[in-house]
Structure 1
Amino acid sequence: MQIRISWPAGNVTATLDRDTPTSQALTKALPLTSTARTWGEEVYFDTGVAVSRETDARQVVAPGTVAFWTDGDALALPYGPTPISQGWGLPRTEFGGECRLASPCNILGTLDGDAGVLATVRDGDPVRVELIDD
């Protein structure tokens, strides 16, 4: 299942796992609009969807992971280090550019293509998330 995430400077698609309770709850809420927030090299935004933390939730993820932050009812899209990443502020080559989320998040899928495009999202940008027909 694919979604498109759009903001004034661009858009990205993502492939989600159909079988998680969080993906199912999120897709039922689509399309949705929200306001982007940035935290280091992570974009996140409120979805209006409330779900429980799943047993396989993770805090450290790969760039381009589509995660759901249950503590904030938000989609979290890391593309690089955050302020709590190990080695924050050091050159990426010295610590690998770890993506450490604020707390363990439910993993929904991955962005298609280069996650670095998220660097064009500005704090306060309007964001739209929609389902792409299969």
Structure 2
Amino acid sequence: MYKRQTATTRALLDALPFTSDAQTWGEEVYFRTPVSPALEPDARQVVEPGTVAFWTDGDALALPYGPTPISRGDECRLASPCNVLGLIDGDPRLLATVRPGDPITVSRA
């Protein structure tokens, strides 16, 4: 995964490890985290498939791999502007196998 060093990434790293339950919204997987960082100045709502984003309105990591219910065409449009943290290494379409309620564990590799 490509990573950016931001206040959000530092907060997430300090909170590791944590568990959550997956949720889906169109072609996006998201899950709550134990952190509540502020919206960063370069936050974006439209991102590339495979972007790792932090949705500050929901204290959640958002992993879009295709269109969401509010997308225009094939774009990945998040619910609101999100802090961009990096990119998934590999095929983000594998996220299509995640189902609501699936357990998620986030830890440092």
Fold conserved between structures, TM > 0.5: yes
Per-residue deviation, residues 77-125 of structure 1 (Å, max 9, x unmatched) = 00000000003xxxxxxxxx20000000000001001001100100111
Structure 1: give runs of 5+ residues left out of the alignment. 1-13, 88-96
TM-score normalised by L of structure 1:
0.79
Which amino acid counterpart does residue 70 of structure 2 have in structure 1? I
Bigger CA radius of gyration = 1
The equivalent of 1:85 in structure 2 is 71
Aligned-partner Cα distance in 1 for 2:31–2:76: 17
Q: CA RMSD in A?
A: 0.8
Alpha-carbon distance in 1 for matches of 2:106, 2:10: 14
**Distance in 2 of aligned mates of 1:101 and 1:21:** 20
Q: Shift in Å at residue 43 of structure 1?
A: 0.2
- Please say if 1:39 is aligned against 2:16: no
- Cross-structure match for 2:79: 102
SS at match of 1:112: coil
Gaps of 5+ in 2: none
Does 1:25 pair with 2:2? no
For these two proteins, the number of residue pairs brought into alignment is 109
